[in-house]
Structure 1
Amino acid sequence: MSSPQRADRTPHPSDRVVTSLRERKKAKTRRTIQEEALRLFAEQGYEATTIEQIAEAAEVSPSTFFRYFPTKEDVVARGDYDQIILEMIKAQPPDLPPLTALRTAFRTAFASMRAEELDKVLARAKLSASVPALRARTLDGLFDTIDMLAGAVAERAGRDPRDLAVRALVGAVMGVLLPAMFTWVERGGATPLPDLVDEALGYLEAGLPI
Structure 2
Amino acid sequence: MTFACIYKFFMDWQTLIGSLLALGAALLTVKEMRNQSRGDETRHRNELERKRMAARAQMPDALSEMSSYIRASTAQIVTGGEMPVAPVAALNTLKTVIEHIDTGYAEKTFQLVSWYQVQHVRMLASTNRNAHDTADQLFDAALLQAYVNRLFNYARNEKEEIGPKNLCREDLIDSLKSSLSLQVWAARHGEFPDVIEIINRRYKPRAQTE
Fold equivalence (TM over 0.5) = no
TM-score by length of 1: 0.33
TM-score by length of 2: 0.33
| Higher share in helix | 2
Whose RCO is larger (CA < 8 A, sep 6+)?
Answer: 2
Larger radius of gyration: 2
